[in-house]
């Protein structure tokens, strides 16, 4: 059966270009390493280089919104160019904005990140479910109707996440497993509208077998995870859907466009070899 919605777009992208999400995080130390000013102009140039190096090669890119927001409206303009440039070059774009609010405000975030008329329109956005999974409904509805996705935080790569995400609910399931189960219920239609964020840095302890959606897994490179760790972290049916991500580890190979693209291709090949 042909999978509809984001499932088709995601499957096609990773089949053509491989399973690795390239983070686009213009950290100030990286700007300096690339010989760029720590300013809106520096972020804009950083973005142009990333579009040229990664847009035509990467299956998925993930600009980290915070590093663009730090420079106000000029930074946001640079982010708009990164999103549009990478999409035009054939990469799927995850806007890593980690949005989440009561439903009526979530509707405004949805317009910003998932509406075709918005200058920030991406293929998906990251969201926090800690105002309740149901509060994300405006984004899930929009994503489902337009072949997009919302990547919901489940078991994050940072050590501080465990206290909340591994806490037990009244029924004995962990908070994170509750997010997984809610996501799987939405994805039962086969559209893969809900992706999850599950870090590559440690065992996640989740049952992801019913998810049928993309699993964004940050932590490769700067946070210490390696491609060789992936088969252990994602040992079950989840392996088929996992999308490992690296930002600083890849970006450290810039600013040369060829070197940055080669770094992406090298890590992607290592990921593919490890996941089989
Ligand atoms: O659990 C999470 C969720 C999101 N992130 C984001 O991914 C990148 C990681 O950057 P690296 O340089 O590869 O460490 C960054 O934008 C985080 O905000 C995450 O790390 N973990």
Specify the pLDDT at position 1: 41
Residue of the CA atom closest to atom 6 of ligand 1: 218
Cβ of 195 below 6 Å from ligand 1: no
Nearest Cα to 44, choosing from 82, 7, 73?
82
Question: What is the total count of domains within the chain?
Answer: 1
1 lies in some domain: no
106, 156, 160: which is closest to 131 by C-alpha? 106
- Residue 161 sits in a domain whose CATH number is 3.20.20.70
Residue 124 counted as domain residue: yes
Mean pLDDT, the chain, integer = 97
- Ligand 1 neighbourhood includes 123 CB (under 6 angstroms): no
Site to probe by mutation for ligand 1, drawn from 247, 250, 267 as the one with most ligand atoms within 8 Å of Cβ, is 247
Cα separation, 152 vs 127, whole angstroms: 5
- Residue 158 CA to ligand 1 centre (angstroms): 8
Per the document, the length of the chain is: 276
> Would you say residue 93 lies in a domain?
yes
Instruction: Identify whether 82 is part of a domain.
Output: yes
Q: Residue 39: left if φ>0, alpha if ψ -120 to 50, beta else—which one?
A: beta
Residue 38 falls inside a structural domain: yes
Q: Give domain status of residue 244, yes or no.
A: yes
Distance CA 132, CA 114 (A): 20
**Burial category of 178 from C-beta neighbours within 10 Å (exposed 0-12, middle 13-18, buried 19 and up):** middle
Q: Is the CB–ligand 1 distance for residue 192 below 6 Å?
A: no
- Residues lower than pLDDT 70 in the chain: 1-3
Prediction ipTM score: 0.99
**Any ligand 1 atom below 6 A from CB of 227:** no
- pLDDT score, position 222: 97
Task: Look at residue 13 and tell me if it is in a domain.
Answer: yes
Instruction: Name the one residue in this structure whose structure tokens are 């990921």.
Output: 271
Residues marked as catalytic: 98
Domain residues for 212? 6-275
Domain-located, residue 154: yes
Cα three-residue angle 254-25-124, rounded to 5 degrees: 125
Q: Is the dihedral of CA 141, 144, 150, 154 positive or negative?
A: positive
pLDDT tens readout for residues 253-270:
999 999 999 999 999 999
At 232 the pLDDT is 95
> What pTM does this model have?
0.98
């Amino acid at each position: 059966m042909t999978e509809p919605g984001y499932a088709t777009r995601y499957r096609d992208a990773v089949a053509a270009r491989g399973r690795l999400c390239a983070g686009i995080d213009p950290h100030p130390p990286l700007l300096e390493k690339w010989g760029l000013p720590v300013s809106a102009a520096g972020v804009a140039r950083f973005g142009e280089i990333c579009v040229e190096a990664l847009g035509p090669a990467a299956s998925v890119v993930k600009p980290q919104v915070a590093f663009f927001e730090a420079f106000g409206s000029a930074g946001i303009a640079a982010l708009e160019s990164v999103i549009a440039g990478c999409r035009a070059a054939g990469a799927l774009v995850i806007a890593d904005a980690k949005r989440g609010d009561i439903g009526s405000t979530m509707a405004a975030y949805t317009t910003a990140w998932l509406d075709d008329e918005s200058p920030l329109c991406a293929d998906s956005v990251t969201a926090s479910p800690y105002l309740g999974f149901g509060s994300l409904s405006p984004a899930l509805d929009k994503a489902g109707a337009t072949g997009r996705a919302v990547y919901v935080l489940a078991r994050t790569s940072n050590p501080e996440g465990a206290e909340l995400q591994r806490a037990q609910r009244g029924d004995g399931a962990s908070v994170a497993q509750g997010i997984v189960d809610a996501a799987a219920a939405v994805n039962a239609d086969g559209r893969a509208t809900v992706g999850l964020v599950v870090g590559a840095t440690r065992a996640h302890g989740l049952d992801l077998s019913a998810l049928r959606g993309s699993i964004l897994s940050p932590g490769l490179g700067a946070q210490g995870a390696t491609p060789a760790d992936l088969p252990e972290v994602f040992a079950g049916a989840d392996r088929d859907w996992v999308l490992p991500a690296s930002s600083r580890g890849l970006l450290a190979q810039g600013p040369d466009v060829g070197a940055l693209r080669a770094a992406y291709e090298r890590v992607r090949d290592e990921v593919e070899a490890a996941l089989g």
